[in-house]
Each structure stands twice: as C-alpha cells, then as structure tokens.
C-alpha cells in the first residue's frame, strides 16, 4: 500500500466550462450497455427480432409471407423490451443508488433526465432500424426458401409511423420510470398500462354504447393502433386522437414525475 498519492499539486483552473449535454448523453448511453443485464436487454431486441423472423418463415402460410407480416411479428417482442430499457435507465439511479454520484457530478437533474430521454430514443430508433433490416432479410430469405413472390407492402411513411409508435411506447416506459422511480413498480405499471387498461377499455367498449365513440379519445393503445396497421395513412382525426391520449396518458404524468424528480431527496 503506497503512502501517498496524488501525482501533482492542484493546477489552478481559470475557467471551467459547464458539462455539455452531448457529453452527458454519451455517458448515459454508455450506462445502458455497461452492465451484463443492460447489455443483454438491448441484445435481446436483436435476438428476438431474429427468432421471430425465423418463426414467421417457418410457420406463416405462403400468402402471408410479406414484409408487413415480418414487421408486425417483430413488434410484439420489441414493444415490451424497449420500454424496459427506458424504465431501467431512469430507475437504476434510485434502485442501484447511483444517483448519489450522477446527481452530484451534474447537479441539474433536468439535464440528466433529458440526456436519458435522448439516449433512450436513440436506442429505440437504432433498434427499429435493426428490426426493419432483420425483417427485410427475413422477407428475402422467406421468398427464396419457400419460392413465394417477394412482397414489399410497407411504405416509408408507414415505417415512420411504426417508429413513432415504438418511440411513444418507449416514452410511456420512460414516463413511468420518472414517475415511480423504482424498477419493479415501474415495470408492473407498464404492463398494467399496456395490457390491462386496454383490455378493460375494450370490454367497456363492447358492452357500453356510449363508450364506443369515446374510446379513441381515451384509450391510448386504441388511438395508436393506426400507427401499426400498414394499410392506410392516418387521418387528421386519428392524429388528434393520438395527441389527446398522449397528453392524458403520457404528457401529464410525465410532468408530474419530472416535478417529483426535481424536488425529492436522493438518498
């Protein structure tokens, strides 16, 4: 054990530049990959995309073997994993207590949260690009193996809808992470949000006539379903429904969560 220590005396610093947001974002991005659990969570997107694609090639009937089938199938696993990434990016600061260091190195919590949002969305877009590529390879492979005609039935616009839908799902996870700040709680809340609440709304819509007309304006999953349908462009009304449900289910709770994050103690 060596006695001392610091190699040099303090060098007087004349000016210190603030930590730029790009640097904080790069660090936050790195933090998503630098643990085994984080790494495999992100890797599982690619793994699931490949497995689902193989599944579609093996089990889908010949007339279904189109690009939209691949894209739709891959969505189911990705829509669960992506929000988990966003949730854990936020909640680990509290549940792993790394926030003690993070929030003292950058004492403005809003900047850390912004950096986490940017890096999460970056991951989401990269993941979508990857799944589109895997789906495209699957489509080529499927057509070759099964001898079916190669069908590209998805337009660029629809791809962008799709990416938007996935980013919105991810932001729901992000919002729940910010609001709840505990990993398990936020994950459970996400499943309630994504699977339980839409089911209840669905039941309500089938049994109550008055709710059926209201549903697109209240049910965020229902409102966003047009983003994944690959059949037509969204109407102005559908956009409005996405906007209204987004304000109710995403924006307002996010603002509440952000307020809590700014004010609460980090222990």
Applying CB under 8 A, does 4 fall inside the site for another protein? yes
Q: For tokens 């789906």, name the residue.
A: 135
- What is the distance between the alpha carbons of residues 82 and 163, in angstroms, rounded to a whole number? 12
Other CB atoms within a 10 A radius of the CB of residue 194 amount to 18
Indicate the burial class of 76 (C-beta count within 10 angstroms; 0-12, 13-18, 19 or more): exposed
From residue 53 to residue 92, the character string flagging contacts with another protein as x (rule: CB under 8 A) and all else as - is: ---------------------------------------x
Which position among 9, 14, 149, 210 is part of the footprint of another protein (CB under 8 A)?
9
Q: Annotate 211-241 with b (16+ C-beta within 10 A) or e (fewer).
A: eeeebbebbbbbbbebbbebeeebeeebeeb
Which position among 56, 81, 106, 163 is part of the footprint of another protein (CB under 8 A)?
106
Scanning residues 25 to 54, which ones bind another protein (CB under 8 A)?
26-27, 30-31, 34-38
Applying CB under 8 A, does 103 fall inside the site for another protein? yes
**For another protein, how many residues bind (rule: CB under 8 A)?**
44
Applying CB under 8 A, does 160 fall inside the site for another protein? no
Enumerate residues 6+ apart whose C-beta is below 8 A from 190.
83, 84, 87, 172, 173, 176
Q: Is 35 left (phi over 0), alpha (psi -120 to 50) or beta?
A: beta
Applying CB under 8 A, does 22 fall inside the site for another protein? no
Applying CB under 8 A, does 1 fall inside the site for another protein? yes
Which position among 43, 58, 63, 96 is part of the footprint of another protein (CB under 8 A)?
96
Applying CB under 8 A, does 17 fall inside the site for another protein? yes
What the block records as the tokens of 28 is: 């936050």
Q: Among candidates 157, 159, 141, which has minimal Cα distance to 50?
A: 141
Query: Minimum CB separation from another protein for residue 12, in Å?
Result: 9
Applying CB under 8 A, does 181 fall inside the site for another protein? no
Binding site for another protein (CB under 8 A): 1-11, 13, 16-19, 23-24, 26-27, 30-31, 34-38, 92, 96-101, 103-108, 263, 265-267
């Amino acid at each position: 054990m060596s006695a001392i220590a610091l190699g040099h005396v303090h060098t007087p610093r004349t000016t210190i530049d603030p930590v730029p947001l790009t640097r904080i974002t790069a660090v936050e991005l790195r933090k998503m990959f630098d643990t085994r659990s984080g790494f495999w969570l992100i890797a599982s997107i690619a793994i699931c995309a490949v497995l689902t694609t193989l599944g579609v090639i093996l089990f889908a009937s010949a007339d279904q073997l189109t690009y939209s089938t691949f894209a739709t199938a891959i969505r189911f696993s990705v829509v669960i994993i992506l929000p988990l990434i966003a949730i854990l990016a936020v909640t680990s600061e509290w549940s792993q207590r790394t926030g003690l260091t993070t929030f003292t190195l950058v004492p403005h919590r809003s900047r850390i949260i912004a950096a986490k949002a940017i890096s999460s969305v970056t991951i989401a877009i990269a993941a979508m690009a990857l799944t589109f590529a895997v789906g495209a390879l699957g489509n080529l492979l499927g057509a070759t193996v099964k001898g079916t005609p190669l069908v590209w039935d998805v337009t660029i616009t629809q791809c962008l809808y799709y990416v938007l839908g996935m980013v919105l799902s991810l932001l729901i996870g992000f919002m729940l992470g910010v609001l709840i700040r505990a990993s398990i709680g936020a994950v459970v809340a996400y499943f309630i949000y994504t699977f339980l609440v839409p089911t209840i709304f669905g039941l309500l819509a089938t049994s109550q006539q008055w709710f059926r007309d209201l549903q697109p304006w209240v049910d965020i999953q229902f409102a966003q379903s047009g983003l994944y349908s690959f059949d037509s462009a969204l109407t102005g009304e559908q956009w409005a429904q996405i906007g209204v449900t987004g304000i109710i289910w995403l924006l307002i709770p996010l603002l509440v969560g952000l307020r809590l994050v700014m004010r609460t103690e980090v222990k």
